[in-house]
Amino acid sequence: MPISDLCNQKCSAGKIGDSPITRSIGTSLHERAAQLLKQSRIEAGLTQAQLALRLQRPQSFIADVEKGQRRVDLVEFVNFARAVGFDPHLFLDSLLMDQEGG
């Protein structure tokens, strides 16, 4: 399916669902994403320091992400998923289901 078809299913004119696009830090979605990232790291049996080594980033980067003080871009998210060993598709599905109350 073309990406434009996927977008048309979920987005229209600067909106995702019924919410206007706004800053993400501090939103419930951002906070839940940070919680899920931390949970996935812990379930993988990794410390922040071990994950930081895998990502070639300082441990403080991992801490800031997990505290919700730093946004993660798409490339960083994919790298995080690979380093921890989770399926990014399932992560996003879970995150969106949480947001939609499902």
pLDDT at residue 81, as a whole number: 97
Q: pLDDT tens digits, residue range 41-57?
A: 999 999 999 999 999 99
Bridge partners of residue 16, in order along the sequence: 11, 19
Residue partners of 90: CB distance under 8 A and separation at least 6: none
**What domains, with CATH codes, occur in the chain?**
23-100 (1.10.260.40)
Residue type, 8: N
Using the predicted structure, report yes or no on whether residue 73 has a pLDDT greater than 70.
yes
- Give the per-residue SS3 of the chain: CCHHHHHHHHEECCEECCEECCCCCCCHHHHHHHHHHHHHHHHCCCCHHHHHHHHCCCHHHHHHHHCCCCCCCHHHHHHHHHHHCCCHHHHHHHHHHHHHCC
pLDDT band at 15 (very low <50, low <70, confident <90, very high): very low
